[in-house]
Amino acid sequence: MNVLKFGEMKAAGQKISMTTCYDYWSARILKETAIDAIIVGDSAAMVMHGHRSTLPATTDLMVQHTAAVVRGAPDKFVIVDMPFLSYRKGLKPAMDCVETLMHAGANAVKLEGIEGHQDIVEHIVESGVPVMGHLGLTPQSVNQLGGFKVQGIGEKAAARLLQHARRLQDAGCFSMVLECVPVATAKRTTEAVAIPTIGIGAGPHCDGQVLVLHDLAGFNRDFRPRFVKAFEDGFDLVQRAVDAFDRDVKSGTFPTDAESYQ
């Protein structure tokens, strides 16, 4: 995968698959999969660190996660979230953040919204760094949105989302995430732009889909919104393995001679 392939896949009607990844060991697994690209999401703050939102993610945190992922899956296309407010304090701090993330191994950066920072998006793109947009439910604005809620409902909101999608395209973005928007809004937006839309809770008409790795692998028992499909029961798998280990240790059946040095 590379940045040009995104547009080519949309033009050819091929769906794009993406998932999140935050660490070396799961990146090693993704390396051996057909997944098209990886997002080192600021959802790391929630999934990996137990925070209630993505706001606590910092550039330093994203760098640690990015470097680990790139070591584990060096050939995958890795898109990294610019953290909360990092692109809202002016051009210089934004570009410092982009530089740091790219030095950590990112192939592209992702940022939320367009209002008030279109010039920064354009500057990042003009600097040779691919940018992915993110519209709909933009988790960094959770306090402004009044919670993690479906966005783009109704004609006015759908038209606004479409206008923002066009602006992201005009600013030079190579693709955009559409998060938690109604099927019809996502379809209309997808058909209106030439760059691929990657949906999460945005229905089947997007050009690609992304899910958080821990959600699709069934590690997150407490979080099952409508749009999540757990393709395996990872929670159960790990729990069974650990309980089996515990039983064998306590019954004295592990380790055997086969697992011991004589």
CA distance 8 to 244: 47
Cβ proximity to ligand KIV, 142 vs 261, nearer residue? 142
Binding mask 150-179 for ligand KIV (x = CB under 6 A): ---------------------------x--
Q: Which of 179, 191, 232, 259 is catalytic?
A: 179
Sign of CA dihedral 49, 53, 59, 65: positive
**Which of the residues 81 through 110 are near ligand KIV (CB under 6 A)?**
81
Helices 183-192, 155-170: axis angle to 10 degrees equals: 30
Q: Does 79 bind ligand KIV (CB under 6 A)?
A: no
Rg from Cα positions in the chain: 20
Under the criterion CB under 6 A, does residue 212 sit at the interface with ligand KIV?
yes
201 binds ligand KIV (CB under 6 A): no
113-146: b or e for each residue (b if 16 or more CB lie within 10 Å)? bbeebeebbebbeeeebbbbbbbbbbbbebeeee
Return the residue of 39, 55, 68, 129 that touches ligand KIV, per CB under 6 A: 39
Known catalytic membership, residue 8: no
Q: Is 43 in the site for ligand KIV (CB under 6 A)?
A: yes
137 lies in the site for ligand KIV, by CB under 6 A: no
Residues that bind ligand KIV (CB under 6 A): 20, 39, 41-43, 81, 177, 200, 210, 212
